[in-house]
Structure 1
Amino acid sequence: MKTCPEQSPDDTKLEQDLQQSAMLKLARHFHSLATGASQVPLQSLHSHLRSTITDPRVFDYHDRLIEGAGPLFSHFLASVPYILEELSRVGVALTRLAQTRAKEGAQTFSLFEVDAFDGTNGRALAGHSKGLIRSFTSSPNRANRAAFERYADPLLSQFYPQSLLKVCPALLQSPEYRGFSQGFEFIYEMAAFQFYTRDRERQIAHIKQFLKPTGLAFFLEKLNHPDPQEYLRRELIKDEVFKTRYFSEEEIRWKRQQMLEQMQNGQVTLEELVSALSTHFKYVHLLWSSSNFCELVASNDLDQIERFLSLLGPVVQPVDFCFESARLGRLATDNRDAGESGNA
């Protein structure tokens, strides 16, 4: 398997972060989830909000996610309130954006899924776009590879069974992954950074090197909150209102006690994340919020981010889960922009 040599002090620091990370400390637990040996959802993951979805393309994307999900991704969908509906909304918008750009002369597009389980979302995007967007997924949990290979079209999607911190330019120049050697139009961090450290600036810099100048980078993260009681309140609505659909109270309690302490060690606040993103990107938008999770998109190309936003359908989610509704929209902007920094 192609790996990357250490090339700089930053690479050495990233390797140290990996060796000390919760990603490795929790490896046995992730293996159990990825093989379906523990915490399997008790019922079907199909959205109970289907009646509120009017776009048939969102239905198609939703169904692709469900049908192609391996055990760990199914667990993820059952653990993050309404991320199923949100990934479908974003995936349809990315397909529309790629189709629009294809009419202008572009040929194909690519997505880097950062530590994204078994690549379910990337595979869904590749299929939904009919191959217009190809996907590359990293995952340090090698058990995810079985589900990937079971469902993937190898002409459209590829899997790298290593941490995002092991992805480097030399890897993408190797024969196996050369199709991505020019970089990616889209990058999606799938709640991965929190399992390493709080050093978002270094983590963002690492993946940004693979993003094309006009590209869009998405960041789905579980965030800390300055007020511990508010953090707990948001956790409780997630656990008691949503997750009880899919897990027993005992399973929910066990995960809270045994796993989330490790995860929280790497979480940052929304303000810290936006600050780190703003050192690398001119434009940052908050797209979605659910319990303690937020999804942001960032870019250095104003036209590209605005085109994407114009193609994005409505959020499909009960309002009671969106705790950052007042902040949805633009959180950071280039100083040269005509508008002021703040909410859109």
Structure 2
Amino acid sequence: MKKSLQPIDETTLDRDLQRSTMFKLAGHFHSLATGASQVPLQPLDSHLRSEIQDPEVLEYHDRLIAGAGPLFSHFLASVPYILEELARVGVAMTRLAQANSSDADQTFSLFEVDAFDGSNGRALTGHSHGLIRTFTSSPNLANQIAFERHADPALSLFFPQSVFKVTPALLQTPDFDQFSEGFDFIYEMAAFQFYTCDRAGQISHIKQFLKPGGLVFFLEKLNHPNPDEYLRREQIKDEEFKTRYFSEEEIRWKRQQMLEQMQNGQVTFEELVSALSARFKSVHLIWSSSNFCEFVASDDPEQLAQFLDLIGGVVQPAKFCFEAARLGSVVSSLSGDKELANG
């Protein structure tokens, strides 16, 4: 693993974290994570089950739902078809690890960046039968309750602080030293937007934990240069998906109370692609839904190509995929100095 980019000034970091939306909304996230508010009106389940042809994706889907804590359940009910997408990606990661396993004792690792209660990581360890071990950060202490209720501590670990408190030194400590060499996979699950728009610094921070040839995933809610288009995509999400799980009053409240805060840290498609392209040799858009996009990036084009060969088809109605024309390689020619790739 690379050494830390620069010494961390804990006082400055703590001050900046306290000013972030992640911490300003801490009370709301606590309420969601304890199931005190905005609980889905009906149990989560894909209404597109009949379109999922791969039995392993179905198994992952069921496992993910069974172990989901309150906040993660809220997330699955809020982002159209992310449930089906996480199952698709989780199965592909498992198959990639299986294909690259050289001996019976080899294991792989995933770092989930501020990923709620680690529901997806725990589903991945279970689905892969322990082949992939996971480490989840989250600054919301209530998430740790759900994590510990379901997690196998031999396979999944939880760090109850922000991703920006994760350092190479932390991963050398006895509690976390099984990840001292870094991670084969990293997944940022719509976390950066709750801090700042500084994707360059945020991406560089997590890249230092990625093993050579590793894959890093970015699921982000993106801003749009056209405010009317942003709102149109929001309207489709709210009216044609979220009404399955939330009342109109709950949807209206969240739109009024939260979106302004959340949007402060969102970046545009072009801004994110530029930041990713400056730091990785290969960047692919693999999924889009309403204002959300999911990218996978790596400095090993062959490893990324192998993953893409293993991933099955997207399961979602086409009308939710607003970036269909951009699916595939999205490396930006305006990415700036490529020497930043080591930053």
- What TM-score comes out, normalization by structure 2 length? 0.93
1:134 paired with 2:125, answer no
Q: 1:291 and 1:267, CA in 2 relative to 1: closer, same or farther beyond 3 A?
A: same
Between Structure 1 and Structure 2, how many residues are aligned? 331
> What amino acid is aligned across from residue 26 of structure 1 in structure 2?
L
Indicate the residue corresponding to 1:83 in structure 2.
82
Offset, 1:20: 1.2
How do 1:193-342 residues align onto structure 2 when only pairs under 5 Å count? 193-332=192-331
In 1, the alpha carbon distance for the partners of 2:209 and 2:160 equals 18
Offset, 1:6: 11
SS in 2 for 1:308: helix
CA contact (8 A) 1:6 1:12 kept: no
Indicate the residue corresponding to 1:341 in structure 2.
none
In 2, the alpha carbon distance for the partners of 1:241 and 1:223 equals 19
How do 1:185-196 residues align onto structure 2 when only pairs under 5 Å count? 185-196=184-195
Q: 1:310 and 1:47, CA in 2 relative to 1: closer, same or farther beyond 3 A?
A: same
SS in 2 for 1:294: strand
> What amino acid is aligned across from residue 200 of structure 1 in structure 2?
R
Q: 1:12 and 1:214, CA in 2 relative to 1: closer, same or farther beyond 3 A?
A: farther
> What amino acid is aligned across from residue 160 of structure 1 in structure 2?
F
> Which runs of 5 or more residues in structure 2 are unaligned?
335-343
Deviations 1:210-263 (A, max 9, x none): 000110000000000000000000000000000000000000000000011110
> What amino acid is aligned across from residue 307 of structure 1 in structure 2?
Q
1:157 paired with 2:150, answer no
Offset, 1:13: 5.9
Q: 1:130 and 1:52, CA in 2 relative to 1: closer, same or farther beyond 3 A?
A: same
In 1, the alpha carbon distance for the partners of 2:11 and 2:107 equals 34
CA contact (8 A) 2:5 2:205 kept: no
In 1, the alpha carbon distance for the partners of 2:10 and 2:203 equals 13
In 2, the alpha carbon distance for the partners of 1:158 and 1:230 equals 40
CA contact (8 A) 2:172 2:180 kept: yes
Offset, 1:8: 2.7
Q: 1:194 and 1:333, CA in 2 relative to 1: closer, same or farther beyond 3 A?
A: closer
Larger mean CA deviation between 103-112 and 325-334 belongs to 103-112
In 2, the alpha carbon distance for the partners of 1:6 and 1:225 equals 31
Offset, 1:19: 2.1
Indicate the residue corresponding to 1:339 in structure 2.
none
Indicate the residue corresponding to 1:112 in structure 2.
111
> What amino acid is aligned across from residue 218 of structure 2 in structure 1?
F
In 1, the alpha carbon distance for the partners of 2:13 and 2:304 equals 29
CA contact (8 A) 1:61 1:88 kept: yes
Offset, 1:57: 0.2
- What TM-score comes out, normalization by structure 1 length? 0.93
Query: Which ranges of 4 or more aligned residues in structure 1 deviate by more than 4 Å?
Result: 9-16, 103-106
Name the Cα RMSD after superposition: 1.8
CA contact (8 A) 1:194 1:263 kept: yes
> What amino acid is aligned across from residue 301 of structure 1 in structure 2?
D
In 1, the alpha carbon distance for the partners of 2:10 and 2:285 equals 30
CA contact (8 A) 1:113 1:135 kept: yes
CA contact (8 A) 2:33 2:70 kept: yes
In 2, the alpha carbon distance for the partners of 1:251 and 1:217 equals 33
In 1, the alpha carbon distance for the partners of 2:107 and 2:193 equals 31
Offset, 1:202: 0.2
Larger mean CA deviation between 142-151 and 325-334 belongs to 325-334
CA contact (8 A) 2:274 2:332 kept: no
SS in 2 for 1:214: strand
Offset, 1:17: 3.2
> Which runs of 5 or more residues in structure 1 are unaligned?
336-344
SS in 1 for 2:175: helix
SS in 2 for 1:24: helix
Sequence identity of aligned pairs in percent? 75
Deviations 1:94-123 (A, max 9, x none): 000000001478811000000000000000
